[in-house]
Amino acid sequence: MCGIAALHHPTSVPTAEGAPMLDAIEHRGPDGRDHRQVGGHAWLGHVRLSIVDLDGGRQPLAGPGGWSLVCNGEIYNHEELRDELGEQDFRTASDSESALVLLARSGPAALDRLRGMWALCAAAPDGRFVAARDRLGIKPLYWAEVGGVRYFASELRAFPTAVQAAVETFPPGCFWTPGTGLVRFADPVPEVLPDWSGLPTEIAEKTTREVLIDSVRRHLMADVEVGVFLSGGLDSSIVAAIAAEERAAVGQRLKTFAVGTADSPDLLAARAAAEHLGTEHREAVFDADRAIAALDAVVESVESFDASLIRSAVPNWFLAELAAQHVKAVLTGEGADELFAGYGYYHRSHAAELPDELARTIGELHGLNLQRCDRVTMAHGLEARVPFLDADVIAHAMSLPDELKQLENGVEKAHLRRAFTGWLPDELLWRRKSQFGTGSGAQDLLTPHWESRVTDADLATTDAPVRTKEELAYHRTFRNALPNVRPEAVLTRFATA
């Protein structure tokens, strides 16, 4: 996990702008920093959080044909790609090098073969340049064009102030080259899915369990220790249960981390799950004073003012701060609700077109939960991984018959719960869902705070794109941190109806 910045111009590039861009995202890469001018048209910069090939994975990486690459993320199938491509063009053991060699050999359309979370920029001395982002946008990438210069960076704060008004989100599943423009190479949900109508329930549950175990196993790939964010909810508890078993198989004990206000539902449930799984468990406890004191830093880090996003980001901020003291990477349960219909509004308002609504929300995760997950962890030099959003898991889950995703006695995700029968105590496996900002206690602290401090007149007279007093307060901080960024260029809303 890292941070990247890049500049491109058809004839010459103002490389002096590169260093300040890296300064702004140095928190993403506390273990190293480097840059490279490539020919006369491109500059690539990188800050590194060392996870794979600790000694040899420094970037920019150099590859065949004079190509250089900077990449933020993890390529989980890099060993398979290395075997297929042959060792002759590899110089390191870095997972990112598989993307570089694949790109140099087969061009940007081949990037759909990468399995993982990544955003990259690559350039060759002859003028070729590629920017690309994984199919879901798990890893961030923004871009802007001003005066013929194209700017790319992992976070909004990296862009020069004069460029911020032109910044847009680089779309997931796309690559850009000077010759082709923007090209889509992959969709969040595959267009062609297996037809599993009539599939016996027990086979569906077995397959769901197997595909998730495989994904968690691959997401544990690292040359450093990997922990788990354990919220006490179903999704993170399943991830922790699989990871704990994988670690026990090699004689290791999994580290888990939980957060909440004292005696909050999530904290108590996570404690019970950790005790059952035998993990090395730690907790971050916060109160109103700590939550409110952290708000400015959280809003500036998340680069959003959506109230739901910020409420969930505050406990995640303390959680990441704690975990970063003990591990360099964590697994999370992000994405399970969008795959297995875990939100109540899916069933209230979209039962008739459930697959379409699930696909829509999966496609928008990059501007919501994934943005929050990336920013609060990387603010503390911590990598977050999302095994539920592996390509194979998505293809499997989205091919399941609709009836397996319906409520069962009013409980969501019954299929997922049954698939892991015996892995967790029933009181945890069938615990009802609460959103993280609620279950951790953050909403009860933050919403009343702003309701009493922002006036009705403030909300009525503002021209900011906000819905509540709480959101107006966050928008003010957002505007102070990023004075020229257009909110409509980066704002995604949580769906609730």
- CA 298 to CA 318: how far, in whole Å? 10
- CA 254 to CA 277: how far, in whole Å? 9
Is-same-fold flag (2-184; 201-490)?
A: no
Amino acid type, 247: R
- What topology is assigned to 2-184 in CATH? Glutamine Phosphoribosylpyrophosphate, subunit 1, domain 1 (3.60.20)
Instruction: Look at residues 271, 300, 297, 242 and name the one whose alpha carbon lies nearest to residue 419.
Output: 242
CATH architecture, domain defined by 201-490 = 3-Layer(aba) Sandwich (3.40)
Full pLDDT tens readout for the chain, 497 residues: 699 999 999 989 888 899 999 999 999 999 999 999 999 999 999 999 989 878 888 999 999 999 999 999 999 999 999 999 998 889 999 999 999 999 999 999 999 999 999 999 999 999 999 999 999 999 999 999 999 999 999 999 999 999 999 999 999 999 999 999 999 999 999 887 877 777 789 999 999 999 999 999 999 999 999 999 999 899 999 999 999 999 999 999 999 999 998 888 889 999 999 999 999 999 999 998 999 999 999 999 999 999 999 999 999 999 999 999 999 999 999 999 999 999 999 999 998 999 999 999 999 999 999 999 999 999 999 999 999 999 999 999 999 999 999 999 999 999 999 999 999 999 999 988 765 555 566 777 888 888 888 999 999 999 999 999 999 999 999 999 999 998 877 777 655 44
DSSP strand pairing (329-331 vs 280-285): unpaired
- The helix-helix angle for 201-219 and 391-399 (nearest 10°) equals 170
- The helix-helix angle for 265-277 and 234-248 (nearest 10°) equals 20
- What's residue 1's pLDDT? 64
374 is in an annotated binding site: no
Give me the residue spans of the domains in the chain: 2-184, 201-490
Amino acid type, 315: P
Residues 6+ apart with CB under 8 A from 447: 307, 311, 470
- What's residue 497's pLDDT? 41
95 is in an annotated binding site: yes
**Could you count the other beta carbons within 10 Å of the beta carbon of residue 197?**
10
Query: Which residue numbers are catalytic?
Result: 2
Instruction: Look at residues 173, 155, 170 and name the one whose alpha carbon lies nearest to residue 117.
Output: 173
